[in-house]
Amino acid sequence: MRRRCRAWAERGLLAVVPHLRGRGRSGGRVTGCLEEAEDLAHLVRLLSQLGVRQHAYAGYSLGACVALKAAALEGRARGVAFVIGPVDFAEQVEILRRARPEALLRWREVFGGLPEECPECYQR
- This prediction has a pTM of 0.78
Q: Clarify whether residues 50 and 105 are in a common domain.
A: no
Domain count for the chain, please give it: 2
Q: Clarify whether residues 48 and 10 are in a common domain.
A: yes
For 10, the domain range is 1-86
Under 8 Å between Cβ of 30 and 19: no
Name the amino acid, one letter, at 41.
A
Q: Per-residue pLDDT tens, the chain, 124 aa: give them.
A: 778 878 888 888 777 777 778 777 778 888 877 888 998 888 888 888 888 888 888 888 888 989 999 999 999 999 999 998 888 889 999 999 999 999 999 888 888 899 999 999 888 7
Q: Clarify whether residues 38 and 28 are in a common domain.
A: yes
How far apart, in whole angstroms, are the C-alpha atoms of residue 73 and residue 67? Answer: 10
